[in-house]
Amino acid sequence: MYVHQRQGSLEVICGPMFSGKSEELIRRIKRAIIARQRVQVFKPALDDRYDVSAIASHSQRKHDAIPVKDSEELRRHLDPEAEVVALDEVQFLDEGLLAVIDGLAARGVRVIAAGLDQDSNGEPFGIMPILLAKAEYITKLQAICMVCGAAAGRTQRLVHTGGQVLVGAAEAYEARCRHCHEIPDGTGQRLLEEPARGE
């Protein structure tokens, strides 16, 4: 799909929850390892849903990863000989990661970053909009809407809590299409009213 030479690049894998982002990231990591490339994998320490020191897909595929609390800790753990650096759940990491990624790509490293491009309100999530703008390659995955079965590009939060970040899985979220996605206003009602028929 992509031709990788010794020039650096940024690949971004995005989409809603349950779309296979971590699965695709793990697949690319495995291929780089088969190609005998030196690979380093990171994840936010915040995300400990399935494993503290591994990235894991909802289907339980795993790959060892270094958990980091922020971009500065990630920078301290970087292997100067790494040819491929993979990052999961990048929406949880701080803006300092942008400079780290730029520096890696400038010195010839292939960077692969996976994460949610939208939060549960359908708004851009964290640093993802900037990563999408800077990326050489973008893969946007779709899930299946749990209401109507259509292609789903959004994440529906099922539990009411404050704040943008709530680490969870099927107990707290499900995939929804644009039509079935609801934005709670605190009462469980839809914030964006559908237009009256004929408008």
Q: Which domains does the chain have, with CATH numbers?
A: 9-141 (3.40.50.300)
What does the pLDDT read at residue 164? 54
Is there a binding annotation on residue 108?
no
Residue written as tokens 């690979």? Answer: 39
Cα distances (angstroms) measured from residue 159 to each of 35, 44, 155: 43, 23, 12
Tell me which of 89, 136, 182, 194 is the catalytic residue: 89
Determine if residue 90 is labeled as part of a ligand binding site: yes
The H-assigned helical ranges of 35-115 are 71-77, 96-106
Element (H, E) at 139: strand 137-140
pTM comes to 0.84
90, two tokens:
């990048």
Please give the mean pLDDT across all residues of the chain. 86
- 83 catalytic? Reply is no
Q: Is residue 103 annotated as involved in ligand binding?
A: no
Q: Is residue 14 marked as binding?
A: no
Q: Per-residue confidence of the chain (199 residues) as pLDDT tens digits?
A: 555 556 899 999 999 999 999 999 999 999 999 999 999 999 999 877 667 788 877 667 889 999 999 999 999 999 999 999 999 999 999 999 999 999 999 999 999 999 999 999 999 999 999 999 999 999 999 999 999 999 999 999 887 665 555 555 556 789 999 999 998 654 444 433 333 334 3
